[in-house]
Amino acid sequence: MEPNKAMEQKKCCPACGAELEPAVKGLSLGGDGWGLLTSALVENLEVDAYVCPNCGKVELYRRKSGL
């Protein structure tokens, strides 16, 4: 098991209680999609997405700096 994974807190689905599985790490929200200089002018929020294997609910969590 990777060191970062061992330190990660388990996340549970708020809908059904099952353990969430990582889906996308480092997803950037709020950008304009063009990149380059236009993205520098738009504030982005970095999140990690998790999905529930039981009910399909998707949860977003703010990405911790340094990951």
pTM across the whole model: 0.70
Asked if residue 1 belongs to a domain, the reply is no
pLDDT tens digit at each of 67 positions of the chain: 455 555 568 999 999 999 999 999 988 887 665 655 555 666 778 899 999 999 999 999 998 765 4
Asked if residue 41 belongs to a domain, the reply is yes
Asked if residue 67 belongs to a domain, the reply is no
Q: Residues 14, 28: contact at Cβ < 8 Å? A: no
Asked if residue 31 belongs to a domain, the reply is yes
Residues spanned by the domain of 23: 15-62
Nearest Cα neighbor of 50 from 39, 61, 40 is: 61
Asked if residue 50 belongs to a domain, the reply is yes
Asked if residue 6 belongs to a domain, the reply is no
Nearest Cα neighbor of 50 from 17, 16, 25, 15 is: 25
**Which contiguous run of DSSP H or E holds residue 4?**
helix 3-7
Domain count within the chain: 1
